[in-house]
Structure 1
Amino acid sequence: MNRRLIQRIGLGLLGTALALSAWVVWDNWGDTWLAAPSASSASTTPSASSAVDPALVERGQYLARVGNCMACHTARGGASMAGSRRIDTPFGSVFSSNLTPDMATGLGSWNADDFWQALHHGRSKGGRLLTPAFPYNHTSVISRNDSDALLAWLKSLPAVKQAPPAHTLVWPVGTQAALAVWRSLFFKPTPYKPDPAHTAEWNRGAYLVQGLGHCAACHSPRNRLGASGPVDDLSGGLMPVVNWYAPDLTRDAETGLASTPLADIVQLLRTGHAPQAQTSGPMAEVVQHGTQYMSPADLHAMAVYLQSRNAPGSASAATSVKTSVSPRVAEQGLKVYDRHCAQCHGEQGRGATTGAGQVAYPALAGNRAVLLRDPTNLVQMVLYGGFGPATAGHPQPFGMPPAVLELDDRDIAAVLTHLRTQWGNQASEVTPLQVNRIRASQGS
């Protein structure tokens, strides 16, 4: 290979790199250079005397609850919406922003255009790119009217001076250059466009699920760079770091959405409990802080949309093949169940209800959560226990005690295998290795 050819190849590679760099820069900031300054962007400090429509503030509060903004923007024991909550990712930790109207550390100097830029383009005031721990692919779905209402409510909150700690992401993940490349590969604003082939109610449900509800943030698989699928991808997957499995919301075999009455879906979202399902783990937090406050009309719209996305499937959420369990595992599983589980869930796995007819302990026979192909959530519940959400429709949920210090991996694998192979249940065996991996991933 002669020197001139090597030079040409080098110049070609350099030209390609420069062209790609220019495209990434233009892709992330080009719209700000093209946009003419607006009247609202000319003034960064809102007038203290400007009147704010109380109805707009009230709507903003409702939308913030629908979006469960508190879950990320309120540190445990901290002031509401003042940020600084640590959010762990596979690449390190980020700390949420202060959304109160403090002039120095919050949104006090932000105007409606600044806030819209953050929601629609994932850029902070001044153009700094935000990390995708903030689900701006979903907030880009939100309409400008709803964005303005959210800001009106946030501006009505008491100002809290609290700057979030610096992110602790591994280099170069948190750099603006890396974020720009990531965004060019995986992010494009997707404002919602109503589908004329469906009803207004269906479209409202789609808007809520894809936007404020950001359901695909959990119910969509992520690649190695942390990118999830499109905002309407509900095909399920393992949630990174927290290690809970978010079921595929498009498969009736996993969720039962296609065959569940709409009223029961609404009840589950409103109370966390329904005749054939109960929420736990991250979904319980969604109900606790978000969906229980939604209007009946919006909950029904979400149920209509989610049900329409479901393809009817087999009755089993796991497998139709009968599992052959060794006598030793079967005996061990029965002993553990009788000692630790039967008192609440019943000898035949039928569960128990309160005097008011509410579910106290869910039935395990025919339970889709028990039958899921991926047993991760079952292992999590046995290891760490937990409570369902406390809601107006179910104010005093019964809890599941943790067994992380009481049962070893073999005990947990055996008892879960017992649940998945008794009372008509037909699902795969859970192995001690599966339990050990989940236990190790949580550091216990």
Structure 2
Amino acid sequence: MDKYLTELAKSILFTAARPEIVMECGKGMYLWDSSGKKYLDFIGGWAVTCLGHCPEAISKALKNQSDLLINASPAFFNKPMLEFAQLLTNISCFDRVFFASSGAEANEGAIKLARKYGAKYLNGAFEIITTVNGFHGRTLATMSATGKKHWDVLFEPKVSGFKHVPINDIDAVYQSVDSNTCAIMLEPIQGEGGVYSLNEEYVKDLRKLCDNKGILLIFDEIQTGIGRTGKMFAYEHYKIEPDIMTLAKGIGGGFPLSAMLTKEKLNIFDAGDQGGTYCGQPLAMAVGLAVVNEVINKKLPQNALVQGQYIIDSLNGIKEKCSLKNIRGLGLLIAFDLPYENGSKIVSECLKEGLIINSPKPSTIRLMPPLIVTKNEIDIMIDILCKVIPKQFH
């Protein structure tokens, strides 16, 4: 980073250990920094840039909508809001949509709706069961819902009313459910937790438990939704229907956008119970509509399934050479473990070689490239891993 940019960076509040580079532009699978260096992006803005960087569909949607209407306030409907809501309900099992700007905001809405349901139908039940190592956001309520151990004492006092149980442990769920329980909330694949999937039998048991107890099943599909796992929504893999689903990241392709989808029986908010200045904002609605239509029209969930399997096969092909363990994932949400806790070093060295990857845990590497990735780019990624990883073990 040159002196001018270094000086400008002093105005940024420290919240993350960022490398000394400034990303300046992007196209497709690649980013370029201010010095002109090119990077192959295999995290896609944390599973956000599903269409790649600067896709024409988003640029065109922003231009066209900005010429018509940028904001009319959330007190009014706007045309792309109505069209986008209908599209999402048409391609999912849900009937109603609430739009917001971030995943945490969508999850806050789900928590509020579950508690409203508990107050209305379950004698004031308010507790929500979530999973250990799950991740639901960074607001106080969603941090409380999140099962990260090192967050336990951060920003105390937390929002009460959450119980954390181990993933795929149905007995632990049964033991935690009581008269105060209004919902069970979890990710179909724990992303930040290291890419660990829910078992199909476990999910079906959860659905039965919720039906029997009259409580809600909430799927946080912030990271898995919009084609990431090989289907439009991850719940489709389990052949069950949640009562509430939250979406963000890929739904806007890089533009701030999220959504909470519900069944008609949960259309129970009173006016003023939930809202926000940018809920259903026309620019975001136009972008979301364009992104989801592009994902559908270009059959990107299918590409995620094909290319994801190619990544897993390729990783297995270098498993011995690079000492990889526990290669796992679904679609284009993939992870593997390293023999040592040097994930951050691997990430740093790959960055020097022009590859962007992620280490959500000290011994884990996560890959979540844009849904447009091809075998050629996967081969380049594998070659860089082969160059970097063995060096760090000697």
Is TM-score (shorter-chain normalized) higher than 0.5?
no
Q: Does 1 or 2 have the higher relative contact order (CA < 8 Å, sep 6+)?
A: 2
- More strand as a share of residues: 2
Taking structure 1 as the reference length, what is the TM-score of the superposition? Answer: 0.26
The higher radius of gyration belongs to 1
